Structure 1
Amino acid sequence: MRLKIIFLISVVVLLLSACGVKQDNSTKSTVEGTSTTASTTQDKGFIGYVVKIDGDRILVVSPDVKDYSSTGGPKNYYPAIWFDESPSNINVGMKVEVWAEGGKLEESYPAQGKAERVSVISDSQSEGTKLFEAEAVNQAISSLEIKKSHFNVVKEVKYDPTASVWTVYVLNDNHDGVIPIQVSDK
Structure 2
Amino acid sequence: MIQVSNKRRLGRSSGAAAARAPLFRLSLALLLLLALVLSGCSDQANSGPPVPEGKNEISGYVVKRDKNRFLLTSYSSGQGRGTEALWIRFKGDVPLGGRVAVELEGDIRTSYPGMGQAKSARLLDSSATAGSARPESSAVAEALARHAGLRVPVIKETRLDQASGQWAVILFDDDASPRRERTARVKGLDWGFSSRKDSTLFTGYVVRKVGGRYLLTAYNGAPSSGRAEALLIHTGKSLRPGQLVEAFVSGGIDESYPAQGKAEDVQAIETDRPSGAFLLPEQAVARALERRLDPPLSVPAVKDIRYEAGTKSWTILLMDAMAEDDGESTIEVADQ
TM-score by length of 1: 0.68
CA 1:79–1:101: 2 relative to 1, 3 Å: same
Relative to structure 1, is the Cα distance of residues 81 and 44 closer, same or farther in structure 2, using a 3 angstrom cutoff?
A: closer
**Which deviates more from structure 2 when the two are superposed, residues 146-155 or residues 116-125?**
146-155
User: In 2, Cα distance between the equivalents of 1:153 and 1:117?
Assistant: 22
Alignment partner, residue 121 of structure 2: none
Q: For residue 148 of structure 1, report the CA deviation from its aligned partner.
A: 7.9
- How far the C-alpha of 1:57 sits from its partner, in A, is 1.1
Other structure's SS at 1:67 match: coil
Residue number in structure 2 paired with 1:97: 246
Q: In the superposition, relative to structure 1, how do residues 83 and 151 fare at CA in structure 2: closer, same or farther (>3 Å)? A: same
Aligned to 1:179: 329
Q: How does 1:81-160 map to 2 (within 5 A)?
A: 81-88=231-238, 90-102=239-251, 104-145=252-293, 150-160=298-308
Cα 1:149–1:167 change in 2 (3 A) is: closer
C-alpha displacement of 1:100:
0.3
Q: CA deviation at 1:132?
A: 1.5
Q: Tell me if structure 1 keeps the 8 A contact 2:200–2:249.
A: no
Hey, what's the Cα distance between the residues in 1 that align with 2:292 and 2:194?
30
Highest relative contact order (Cα 8 Å, sep 6+), 1 or 2? 1
Indicate the residue corresponding to 1:41 in structure 2.
Answer: 196
Provide the rounded CA distance (Å) in 2 between the counterparts of 1:116 and 1:184.
Answer: 36
Residue identity in the other structure for 2:212: D
Alpha-carbon distance between aligned partners in 2 of 1:79 and 1:157, rounded to the nearest angstrom: 18
Q: Provide the secondary structure at the position in 1 that maps to 2:194.
A: coil
Q: Report deviation, 1:46.
A: 0.9
* 1:51 aligned residue: 207
Tell me, in whole angstroms, the C-alpha distance in 1 between the residues paired with 2:275 and 2:328: 27
One-letter code aligned to 1:67: S
Residues 137-158 of structure 1, C-alpha deviation per residue, up to 9 Å, x if partnerless?
A: 1111111337788121111111
Paired residues for 1:58-73 under 5 Å: 58-64=214-220, 65-68=222-225
Query: What amino acid is aligned across from residue 261 of structure 2 in structure 1?
Result: G
- Structure 2 equivalent of residue 168 of structure 1: 316
Count the aligned residue pairs: 151
Residues 44-67 of structure 1, C-alpha deviations (whole Å, 9 max, x = no match): 721111111124311110112422
Separation in 1, partners of 2:294, 2:201: 27
Residue 58 of structure 1 contacts residue 86 of structure 1 at CA under 8 Å; is this kept in 2? no
CA-to-aligned-CA distance 1:8-34 (integer Å, 9 cap, x gap):
xxxxxxxxxxxxxxxxxx9x9934238
* Cα RMSD after superposing both structures: 3.0
- Cα distance in 2 between the residues matched to 1:160 and 1:149: 25
Identity of matched residues, %: 28
Structure 2 residue ranges without an equivalent (≥5) = 1-132, 143-187
How far apart are residue 39 of structure 1 and its match?
1.6
- The 8 Å contact of residues 227 and 326 in structure 2, kept in 1 or not, is answered as no
Distance in 2, matches of 1:55 and 1:31, equals: 32
Which residue does 2:126 correspond to in 1?
none
CA distance, structure 1, for counterparts of residue 202 and residue 194 of structure 2: 6
1:24-39 superposed matches below 5 A: 30-33=138-141, 36-37=189-190, 38-39=193-194
How big is the shift at 1:177? Answer: 4.9
Deviation at 1:41, TM superposition (A): 2.0
